[in-house]
Structure 1
Amino acid sequence: MEIEQTYLNDCYLISPRVFADSRGTFFESFNKKKFEELTGHCVEFVQDNQSTSQKGVLRGLHFQMGNFAQAKLVRVIQGSVLDVAVDIRPQSETLGQHFSLVLSAENNKQLYIPQGFAHGFLVLEDDTIFSYKCDSYYNKASEGGIIYNDKSLNIDWKLPEDAFVISEKDKELPTFETLFK
């Protein structure tokens, strides 16, 4: 497994070593010991989540606050997404910056998103299966979000906005600026 620091503090791109032969492929999707050795971060995942979506579905930008803040390890099992992490930690040097990349079943890349980040993704293929591990349990009272098209974040979602399928809840999320008022 290769782990590379993104330009956002504590946010890591993970590329597993894939073994392939005539039977198919095999890779280790997570190894706690290696992760801790390579990042210096100790993480204890307690909840796994999975979604299936069609092309154009945009989920996010979501986060959990306070004692229920969540670090996530995200990956795609089938299909592909444009994955986006936004640093919302008030004291961070990279506050308000985002990192995006395509995660796919083909590239097997994963993104580790630390606590204090908003996260979202746009589905690029039909029948995409997205999976993520969380280090804290979901708590409805602690959930928050930022509107996907926030002008100050300037996220290039790679598809035209009229192609997006967005929940009513996500269409009503506040702007980044309102988080710090």
Structure 2
Amino acid sequence: MIAKETKLKGCYILEPTVFGDSRGYFFESYNKQTFDKLINQNINFVQDNESFSSRGVLRGLHGQKDEFAQAKLVRVTQGEVLDVAVDFRKDSPTYLQHVSVKLSSENKKQLFVPRGFLHGFVVLSETAVFNYKCDNLYNKDAEIGIMYNDSDLSIDWLLNEDELLVSEKDKNLPTLKQFFQ
């Protein structure tokens, strides 16, 4: 496995070594010892989640605050998504900057999103199965979020606004300006 740190400190794109032949393929999607060494941290994942979504479904931008913040290791096992991580750590030199990466069942890339980030994705294929590991349990009361189309973030979701399927909850998230009022 290869890990490449993005422009956001502590946020990594991981590319596995895939062994393929006429029968199919094999790769190690996660090995704690290898993973911790690659990102130079000791991460203990405690929860795995999976979602299934149709083309245009946009989930985000979400996070959890304070002691409930979560680091995530995300990947796609069917289809393709554009995955987005926003640095929401106030003391970070890349505060409010974001990275976007296409994750798919074909490229088998993963994204490690550290604690203190907001996260979201949009489905680019007809359907997608999205999997992620979390290093902290979900806590509804610690949930935070920012509007996916906030102009101060300028995220290109690669689809037109009229193609996006966004939950009512996510449509009602605050903008950055509203969040910090």
Q: TM-score range by the shorter chain?
A: over 0.9
Deviation at 1:127, TM superposition (A): 2.3
Deviation at 1:15, TM superposition (A): 0.1
- Gap regions ≥5 residues in structure 1: none
Distance in structure 2 (CA, Å) of the matches to 1:155 and 1:74: 19
Identity of aligned residues (%): 57
Q: Which moved more, 1:105-114 or 1:33-42?
A: 33-42
TM-score, L = length of structure 2: 0.98
Deviation at 1:133, TM superposition (A): 0.2
CA shift digits 1:51-93 (9 cap, x unpaired): 0000000000000111110000000000000000000001000
* Aligned equivalent of 1:113: 113
Distance in structure 2 (CA, Å) of the matches to 1:131 and 1:179: 28
Which amino acid is 1:172 matched to?
Answer: N
* Aligned equivalent of 1:8: 8
SS in 2 for 1:177: helix
Which amino acid is 1:67 matched to?
Answer: E
1:157-176 residue pairs with structure 2 within 5 A?
157-176=157-176
CA shift digits 1:106-159 (9 cap, x unpaired): 000000000000000000112210000000000100101010000000000111
Deviation at 1:167, TM superposition (A): 0.2
SS in 2 for 1:173: coil
* Aligned equivalent of 1:88: 88
Deviation at 1:180, TM superposition (A): 3.7
TM-score, L = length of structure 1: 0.98
* Aligned equivalent of 2:75: 75
